Structure 1
Amino acid sequence: MTQPVLDGATTEVVRSYLVAAAEEMRATLIRTAFNPVIYEVLDFGISVYDAKLRLVAEATGLTRFLGANDYSLRKGVEYVGVENLHPGDIVLLNYPYWNAAHAYDATLFMPVFSEGSLFGYLCVRAHWMDLGAKDPGYVLDSTDVHQEGLLFPGTKVFERGAPDTKILELIRFNSRLPELVIGDLHAQVAALRTGERRIHEILAKFGRRTVERAIDQLIELGAATATEMLRGLPQGSWTAVDWLDDDGVSDYAVRMQVTVTIADGTMTCDFTGSAPATRGPVNLPLGSTIACARVAYKAFTTPYEQANAGHFAPLRVRTEPGTLFHATYPAATFTQWTGNLAVELIYKALAQGMPDRVAACSGGDVPGFMMVGEHPEHGGFYAISNNDLVGWGASATHDGHGPANHICQTAGHNTPVEVLEARSGMVVERLEIRCDSAGAGRFRGGCGLRRDIRFRSAGEFLSVIKRTKTPPWALAGGAEPEPSQVLAFPGTEREQRVGTKRLTVRPGDRISLLTAGGGGHGDPRTRDPDLVRADVAEGYVSAAAARNDYGVEVSR
């Protein structure tokens, strides 16, 4: 029997209610989380699904988690069995190959029942600070998944509304930061229960049949809109290659390759030709690769629409099991930085077919760092992290923005200096825009930044950058900026430049982080001289660079 078509107004109102439910879940998580990576950085993903496991609505969160919960939920429900799910159940999944992430990104999901039957699911994914991996903080050199923390393939932590205290105690006793981890777990539970209440209110207000029909129409519309947009883009296939510095264990560069094809209303990202799975932890689970492809794909199809399953229907992702972009057991997966570069790898391929629509490389990577140790005031163990800002790439019509969060994390934040200093043994002595860090061009890239840190207590500083040897790429004759660098112990006998590394630090030691700018677009000699002079006045470009790169004399 054909279902009646809902009017557009009703469909849109239902959509807004569903998105509002997801956003209220987000607000609950932020207000109740213990860990600043969640409540400051916004390292989480929140989504709503129907009973067919179709994405219905998402809250604003980490961009790379765009639709990532889809893969996790499908695997989790398959493992637990839909027949074994009951009202009040909450399931924990962090097994990397099913979870579309590493082991510290914990996904909690719960079924939502209405009128005695399953209506849908709610998911909250968030980064936990410690689950007993071989090293505190971030694991940089694991060689198999069992060095990366406690694993849950789809384990009920709440059953019919009651907590499983044995599982919670197992988590507590396997974490170096049990208060934070258990606190964040309960924050995710609070977010799920907030969402459950709101879904019940929506069903009571509109009726289940109306809501389900609205969801069907929204998904149909999303697919039709994305397909139409793809048909309006240049058609063809383009291949791009780039490199990771290393795999965290060996020194050799790791090849990344993608071929992007747009044809017949579809877009295919084929990662065939990338390196085999590495010994170190830079391998991506398939679900994570799909999520990265979705970030780039959605930017070119429906960037201004709230995501649902329909929007992603025309996207195809191809990989080979046992390779860099399709990790299989027991491959190490903890350092997920490959995904940051994968987003820009797709853009690099697309730039060949639509150079006027794609910006140059945006810093090339996410320059992350972490500090672990004993707090200088209270002596308790801490772990805190930050992802620093880079310059965005220039386009055919605009200078690059920056410093700003990398394009794969645009909805997230960096950790405020006040939080870093209060919760660790670090003091940030300098935080400023780096002059001459942007790639020159008719339109220049955005600038990177410099952050100088002094340590007031001993501990370990973890630098997490996977692109320090190859510069961010430019377009149309623009200049490539220098890649990000970390200068450890400057001005001492221990001075060294590092990429991804765990460093032992002592009180009084210093480290300087120098993040990359964006690639330039077009011949720098064709840039408007007045813009060059303005850049010098603002401190973005030096007088020497104005003369040497742009051919403009500036007296200051």
Structure 2
Amino acid sequence: MTTLDGATVEVVRSYLLSAAEEMRATLIRTSFNPVIYEVHDFGMSMYDADLRLVAEATGLTFFLGANDFSLRKGVDYVGLDNLHRGDVVLLNFPYWNAAHASDATLFAPVFQPDPADPDADGTLVGFLCVRAHWMDLGAKDPGYVLDSTDMHQEGLIFPGTKVVSRGVPVHEIHELIRFNSRMPAEVLGDLHAQIAALRTGERRYLEILAKFGRPTVEAAIDAMIADGEARSRAALAALPQGTWTAEDWVDDDGITEDPVKMRVTVTIADGTFTVDFAGSAPATAGPINMPYGATEAICKVILKSLTSPDQPSNAGTVAPLKVLAEPGTLFHAVYPQPTFTLWTGIVAVELILKALAQGMPDLLPASSGGDVPGFMMVGIHPDTGQMFAVSNNDPVGWGATTDHDGMNAATHVSGSTGRITPIEVLEARTGMFFERMEFRADSGGAGRFRGGSGLRRDIRFVTPGEFLSVIKKTRSRPWALDGGLEPDPNQVVVFPGTDREARVSTKRTRVEVGDRITLLTAGGGGHGAPRDRDPEAVRLDVAEGFVSPAAARDVYGVDTDG
């Protein structure tokens, strides 16, 4: 067994992280789809031969560790004996993929060639994995599926299918994808971008092995994982110990208007972080159900943020996690239950934090907008005659903490490493024209420290098409802490100022030239009693437009008119 000093371990760790980040750069620079190259709706990671995570590049927060589950399922399905040097495998079967069908996971084995037999596979030394959102795989509706009732309405399914075999593209599979997509150029372009990212990672992985030698790299990986686990368990031991329960509701399931119950019990004890979703609703008729792997991934986000937010991820950092969700329930969908609208997981991130805040109110912020206010437009571009489908996840106000205000208009905590789609891209690629985008006065929950402000966005349509709003937290308010006030929830107002005006949540709306829609994203929850806020801070809020003079007077007790 090779024993290493700490410096060597850190050097190898840095090389592996650099390789993962280079994979990321390759994907961003070569992808066709703005949700990948602008929003960063992807996740990518590197593994050793035992399927242990060794390095992960920055992607969507929601995908933290999600590839772990997918890779295990994919390798089990294909079989180690059927994986060869140069292979690339496609997996999007949602119950194995830790995501919905449009999140395409590609993985590849890494073999170290034998110089004495260069035509053979060589020695299996690791795996690489890249997942990214594809805009269309022939689901029943273009863009995003909001009301599917089984998996087969959600797009073409690949359970672990080789798209490259021994270095040669599998033409028939590429053609199958092309003929089953409404946007074949974009989807195949993104497929090739993911393959390019995998090839970049493969080259760098082999270079690292050549530079340091396989025994040194394997020993460094063992040390990294052991250190990650030790740090996580030590951090858990330093946190308050106990069990806390919280409940919340998802607006609806896309089929009925009935709210859907979420319940979680979180336990920190004996160096273990247990998240139990018992008491949540059974799986719904509509597509808000969570594959178990996706449920596991959101729990990893919370564990990582509590125990090692400033450390790179590896298999050790999440070793203390235990996730319980009964099959056939909201947080553990089984075939053929629909899973396309994964917003339950976004709201559940806040649910877990709500439970934990009971035991550690001084360590956690109040609710951050409650949800991700997503939207998309689908139509035919007048300049190209081709279909477009471009999306955006709007920012919300973050929750206040015990010692500072929440951030204004930031991406939701479940996707905080992602970005919003630039207005220039949205206007150039779709039929939307943005007449207004501004902070919303009084949208943040009032408190000694106020919640961050949400946004108002006014859209006028210059081409016909469909507007999809994807929001699951419009009926109940984001929660506050320690006497702070809860902000108004997210709102989508279609056709404002007309006799068709209505407030909707998750809905596909037909729009014509000249129609308008207003999006109002929620602020964060307040922390502490509003009357305890520093009057000078209130006056500054009014001057900057975050608080109205009326709210300053009536809520905070500060007269700013004098």
TM-score (norm 1): 0.99
Deviations 1:175-223 (A, max 9, x none): 0000000000000000000000001110010001100000000000000
1:503 match: secondary structure: strand
Question: Are residue 41 (structure 1) and residue 39 (structure 2) matched?
Answer: yes
Q: Counterpart of 1:53? A: 51
Q: Which residue type is aligned with residue 503 of structure 2? A: R
Aligned to 1:75: 73
Q: Does 1:178 align with 2:176?
A: no
Partner SS for 1:490? coil
Quote the residue 2:318 is aligned against.
312
Structure 1 residue 141 corresponds to structure 2 residue 147:
yes
SS at match of 1:71: helix
1:111 corresponds in structure 2 to 109
Matched to 1:103, the amino acid is: A
The AA in structure 1 aligned to 2:333 is: A
User: SS of the residue aligned with 1:196?
Assistant: helix
Counterpart pick for 2:286 among 280, 285, 296: 280
424, 428, 446: which one aligns with 1:422: 428
Report the counterpart of residue 6 of structure 2 in structure 1: 8
Q: Shift of the alpha carbon at 1:402?
A: 1.5
| In 2: Cα distance, 1:283 partner to 1:4 partner | 46
- Counterpart of 1:312 in 2: which secondary structure? coil
Q: Distance in 1 between matches of 2:63 and 2:395?
A: 19
The reply on whether 1:85 has 2:83 as its aligned counterpart is: yes
Cα shift readout 1:235-270 (whole Å, capped 9, x = no counterpart):
000000000000000110000011000001111000
Q: Is it true that 1:474 corresponds to 2:480 in the alignment?
A: yes
2:223 matched to 1:217?
A: yes
Q: Give 2:271's aligned amino acid.
A: G
CA distance in structure 1 between the aligned counterparts of 2:409 and 2:417, rounded to whole angstroms? 14
Q: CA deviation at 1:379?
A: 2.2
Query: 5 Å matches for 1:157-306?
Result: 157-306=163-312
Partner of 2:359: 353
Q: Which amino acid aligns with 1:86?
A: H
Q: Secondary structure at the match of 1:113?
A: strand
- Contact kept, 8 Å, 1:376 with 1:424, in 2: the verdict is no
Match of 2:534 among 528, 542, 555: 528
Cα distance in 1 for partners of 2:534, 2:422 equals 36
Compute the displacement of 1:380 (Å).
1.5
1:57 deviates by 0.3
Is the 2:446–2:486 contact (alpha carbons within 8 Å) kept by the matching residues of 1?
Answer: yes
Shift of 1:5: 2.0
| Offset from partner CA, 1:279-321 (integer Å, 9 cap, x none) | 0000000000000001111110000000000000011101100
**Is the contact made by 1:93 and 1:153 (CA closer than 8 Å) also made in structure 2?**
yes
Q: Distance in 1 between matches of 2:81 and 2:404?
A: 54
Task: Quote the Cα distance in structure 2 between the aligned partners of 1:406 and 1:28.
Answer: 26
Deviation of 1:378 (Å): 2.5
TM superposition shift of 1:376? 2.5
Q: Which amino acid aligns with 2:373?
A: P
Verify: 1:517 aligned to 2:523, yes or no.
Answer: yes
Residue equivalent to 1:127: 133
Q: Distance in 2 between matches of 1:260 and 1:398?
A: 26
SS at match of 2:316: helix
SS at match of 1:540: coil
Q: Is the 8 A contact 1:363 1:406 kept in 2?
A: yes
Alignment root-mean-square deviation, CA: 0.6
State how far apart, in whole Å, the 1-side matches of 2:65 and 2:458 are.
36
Task: Please tell me whether the aligned partners of residues 49 and 125 of structure 2 are also in contact (alpha carbons under 8 angstroms).
Answer: yes
- Counterpart of 2:488, as a letter, is E
Indicate conservation of the 8 Å contact 1:441/1:523, yes or no.
yes
Greater Cα shift, 377-386 or 28-37: 377-386
Instruction: Measure the CA separation in 1 of the matches of 2:382 and 2:393.
Output: 23
1:497 partner SS:
strand
The 2-side partners of 1:187 and 1:379 are apart by 25
Matches within 5 A, 1:311-350: 311-350=317-356
Moved over 6 A (4+): none
- Specify the code of the residue in structure 2 equivalent to 1:68: A
For the residues of structure 2 that align with 1:469 and 1:187, how far apart are their CA atoms? 40
Aligned counterparts, 1:492-511, within 5 A: 492-511=498-517
Of 24, 27, 31, the match for 1:26: 24
SS of residue in 2 equivalent to 1:46: strand
Q: Describe how 1:338-487 pairs up with structure 2 within 5 A.
A: 338-487=344-493
Contact 1:376/1:456, CA 8 A, preserved across alignment? no
Contact in 2 for aligned 1:38/1:126 (Cα 8 Å): yes
Partner of 1:97: 95
Q: Distance in 2 between matches of 1:493 and 1:77?
A: 55
Kept in 2: contact 1:49–1:120 (CA 8 A): yes
Contact persistence 2:248–2:262 (CA under 8 A): yes
Any conservation in 2 of the 1:372–1:384 contact (CA below 8 Å)? yes
| Distance in 1 between residues matched to 2:416 and 2:393, nearest whole Å | 11
User: 2:531 is matched by which residue type in structure 1?
Assistant: R
Q: Which moved more, 1:255-264 or 1:375-384?
A: 375-384
Write the distance in 2 (CA, Å) between the matches of 1:74 and 1:24. Answer: 24
Mark the runs of 5 or more structure 2 residues left unpaired by the alignment: 115-121
- Length-normalised TM-score, structure 2: 0.98
Inter-partner Cα distance in structure 1 for 2:203 and 2:547: 54
Q: Which residue of 2 aligns with 1:488?
A: 494
Q: Tell me the alpha carbon deviations over residues 388-426 of structure 1, each in whole angstroms, 9 at most, x when there is no partner.
A: 000000011110002000001111000000000000111
Aligned residue pairs, count: 554
Counterpart secondary structure, 2:141: coil
- Percent of pairs with identical residues: 70
Secondary structure of the structure 2 residue equivalent to 1:272: coil
**Cα offsets for 1:32-51 (capped at 9, x unmatched):** 00000000000000000001
Q: What residue number does 1:547 align with?
A: 553
Q: 2:119 aligns to what?
A: none
Q: Distance in 1 between matches of 2:209 and 2:491?
A: 53
Helix, strand or coil at the partner of 2:90: strand
What's the secondary structure of 1:74's corresponding residue?
helix
For residue 117 of structure 1, report the CA deviation from its aligned partner: 1.1
SS of 2:173 mapped into structure 1: helix
In the aligned structure 2, how far is the partner of 1:515 from the partner of 1:50? 42
Q: Distance in 2 between matches of 1:492 and 1:521?
A: 38
2:555 is paired with a residue whose SS is helix
8 Å CA contact retained: 2:2, 2:215: no
Letter in 1 for 2:391: S
CA displacement, residues 363-384 of structure 1 (integer Å, 9 cap, x when unaligned): 0000000000011322221100
Output the amino acid matched with 1:379: G
Q: What one-letter code is carried by the residue in structure 2 that aligns with 1:468?
A: T
Question: Take 1:186 and 1:441, find their aligned partners in 2: how far apart are those partners?
Answer: 50
CA distance in 2, matches of 1:166, 1:292: 36
1:434 and 1:447 in contact (8 A); partners too: yes
SS at match of 2:51: coil
* Alpha carbons 2:2, 2:216 under 8 Å: kept: no
Deviation at 1:555, TM superposition (A): 1.6
**Alpha-carbon contact 2:439-2:456 (below 8 Å) kept:** yes
